[in-house]
Chain A
Amino acid sequence: MFRDLKRIGLEACVLIAFAALFGLSLNYQLVMDAFTGHLVTQVSQAAEESAPTTLPLPALLDEVQQVMASGGVLVDARSPELYAAGHIDGAMSLPMIEIEAVLPYFLEHVSKDQALITYCSGFGCPDSFDLGVRLIEAGYQNVRVFEGGYPEWRDAGLPVAGEGQ
């Protein structure tokens, strides 16, 4: 009985190891990019179709901190509900889903030469990139995208604000 269980456990481990190696071999670059912080945000179809010549470049966590320290503005592209629940401390809310309604207010209060960094929910979330594209179209020259977004910032133990904090 015990020998049987030991054998079954061993075979299960082999099965897991084989599947994991197979998955890693297929997604090696993706995992390496995630661990080295060079992940490129997926561009949504809408943004691809209407992309301007200049696209926002990605910014890493330490670069985001440097830009903020030198007076840059962090812009949250998520919904107002998610922003209210928790956001990067000091970030402005500019929800991509309400962009046409809120952009005029933003244009009025943030000068065009201001350094901006957009973010959303990290992995696979295209809103920060779409917002970056939209802000460049609106005339902002220095716009970058924080790929890791709110999850990476929060997991790094950096200051956050909102109802959930």
Chain B
Amino acid sequence: MKRFFYHLGRLVLALVFIYAGAVKMQDVVAFAGHIAAYQILPYALNYLVAATLPYMEFLAGIMLLLNARVRPALLVVGGMTLIFMAALVSVLVRGLEIDCGCFDPGGGQDVTAGIALLRDIGLMILVILVWFLRRGTVPVSDAAVP
């Protein structure tokens, strides 16, 4: 049963991050615009983040999908989710009304910061669950996993 939930959680995270990374890669400029709307980073850094972050999401998602280097991939997606949560909290505190830009940088039909924060909390819980479920289901270290 533990094994089932481990693989289910891993696959859900994999698909979420592969999708999130893939849609942002399609329109890096629009994603930079969404990052700029958070009013956290200076002008050019928005582009630097937009040019790299989607590839981190995508690669970590692929590793989770392949069941390879799962814990490093979980650390990456968990770290990114924590950063997203901090950014969303700062948006809520400052009262900015922006789309989160989490999954749809080009369409402008995304969700508000509050809903995105709830979604990120759910993802963070899933990351933690998969991390600990892996300990129970895979006794050998990640190094032994292909």
Q: Are A15 and B52 also in contact (CB < 8 A) when A8-B142, A152-B43 are?
A: no
How many residues of B are in contact with the other chain, CB < 8 A? 36
Are A19 and B47 within 8 A (Cβ)?
A: no
Are A22 and B55 within 8 A (Cβ)?
A: yes
Task: Place the interface of chain A in its size category.
Answer: 20 to 34
Per a CB cutoff under 8 Å, which of B51, B59, B71, B79 touches A31?
B51
Asked if B33 is an interface residue, CB under 8 A from chain A, the answer is: yes
B106's nearest neighbour on chain A, judged by CB, is A124
Interface mask (B30-59 → A, CB under 8 Å = 1, otherwise 0): 101100110100111011101111111011
Q: How far is the CB of B78 from chain A (nearest CB, A)?
A: 9
Q: Are A34 and B69 also in contact (CB < 8 A) when A12-B76, A151-B36 are?
A: no
Q: How far is the CB of A93 from chain B (nearest CB, A)?
A: 19
Q: How far is the CB of A75 from chain B (nearest CB, A)?
A: 20
Are B58 and A19 within 8 A (Cβ)?
A: yes
Q: Are A151 and B63 also in contact (CB < 8 A) when A8-B71, A121-B37 are?
A: no
Q: Are A20 and B43 also in contact (CB < 8 A) when A4-B141, A15-B72, A27-B28 are?
A: no
Are B48 and A12 within 8 A (Cβ)?
A: no
Interface residues of A in 90-142 (CB under 8 A from B): 121-125
Asked if A23 is an interface residue, CB under 8 A from chain B, the answer is: yes
Are B72 and A30 within 8 A (Cβ)?
A: no
Are A30 and B51 within 8 A (Cβ)?
A: yes
| A113 to B69 Cα, complex, angstroms | 64
| A108 to B43 Cα, complex, angstroms | 35
Are B30 and A124 within 8 A (Cβ)?
A: yes
Interface residues of A in 11-51 (CB under 8 A from B): 11-12, 14-16, 18-20, 22-24, 26-27, 30-31, 34-35, 39, 42
Q: How far is the CB of B30 from chain A (nearest CB, A)?
A: 5
Which residues on A sit within 8 Å (CB–CB) of B55? 19-20, 22-23, 26
Can you name 9 extra interface pairs (CB under 8 A) apart from A15-B63, A15-B73, A34-B32? Answer: A4-B141, A7-B143, A8-B75, A20-B52, A22-B59, A23-B52, A23-B55, A27-B51, A151-B39
By a beta-carbon cutoff of 8 Å, the part of chain A in contact with chain B is 4, 7-9, 11-12, 14-16, 18-20, 22-24, 26-27, 30-31, 34-35, 39, 42, 121-125, 148, 151-152, 154-156
By a beta-carbon cutoff of 8 Å, the part of chain B in contact with chain A is 27-30, 32-33, 36-37, 39, 42-44, 46-48, 50-56, 58-60, 63, 69, 71-73, 75-76, 79, 141-143
Subset of 16 A-B contacts with CB under 8 Å: A7-B142, A9-B72, A12-B75, A12-B76, A15-B60, A15-B63, A15-B76, A16-B76, A19-B56, A23-B55, A24-B51, A26-B51, A30-B47, A34-B47, A35-B44, A122-B36
